[in-house]
Structure 1
Amino acid sequence: MCGETCPDVFELSDGRFAVIGAERTAKVQEEHPELRELDAREIIVVVDRWTLIYAKPFIPDH
């Protein structure tokens, strides 16, 4: 929506949520070795705090 590489959170038609953010797997794993091992299909995506706070009212509690 911002015309650049803005992070975003949106609900899919099946009720799951998708997150658009910066791929930072190697950097986060290096900085946080205590994190669990990722599945081969998983990556770590970083989304800024403001994006999640803004999205919170649109995410149902159940």
Structure 2
Amino acid sequence: MKIVRRVGASPRERGSATGQSCPDIFELSDGSFAVIGREATKELDAELPPDASRADYERIVVITRDTLVRAKADIPEA
């Protein structure tokens, strides 16, 4: 599995010049997406709706709204 491309604007384009706020989204060679964000599993696990679940090896990651909104145009429809 390899990173094929960034989806959306880079952290620098979104105003992160210090490297302290670098959420990012990448498309992978298998068609999946990888996300860099703030780890929030402990904080949000109990907030998941009843029909959502998380495996032990999965984590809840938070990205900024700006990161996702700016990536929208780069996310394929199918």
Q: Determine the C-alpha separation between the residues in 2 that align with 1:59 and 1:37.
A: 24
The equivalent residue for 2:64 is: 48
Residue of structure 2 aligned with 1:25, choices 30, 41, 47: 41
Superposition map of 1:3-42 within 5 A: 3-30=19-46, 32=47, 34=49, 36-42=52-58
Structure 1: gaps of 5 or more residues:
none
> If each structure's helix is expressed as a fraction of its own residues, which one has the higher value?
1
**Gap change, CA 1:12 and 1:33, over 3 Å in 2:** closer
Q: Tell me the distance in 2 between the aligned counterparts of 1:33 and 1:7.
A: 22
Query: Which segments of 5 or more consecutive residues in structure 2 lack a partner in the other structure?
Result: 1-10
**How far apart, in 2, do the equivalents of 1:29 and 1:16 lie?**
23
**What is the percent sequence identity of the aligned residues?**
46
CA distance, structure 2, for counterparts of residue 26 and residue 44 of structure 1 = 8
Q: What TM-score do the two structures reach when normalised by structure 1? A: 0.81
So what's the TM-score if we normalise by structure 2? 0.67
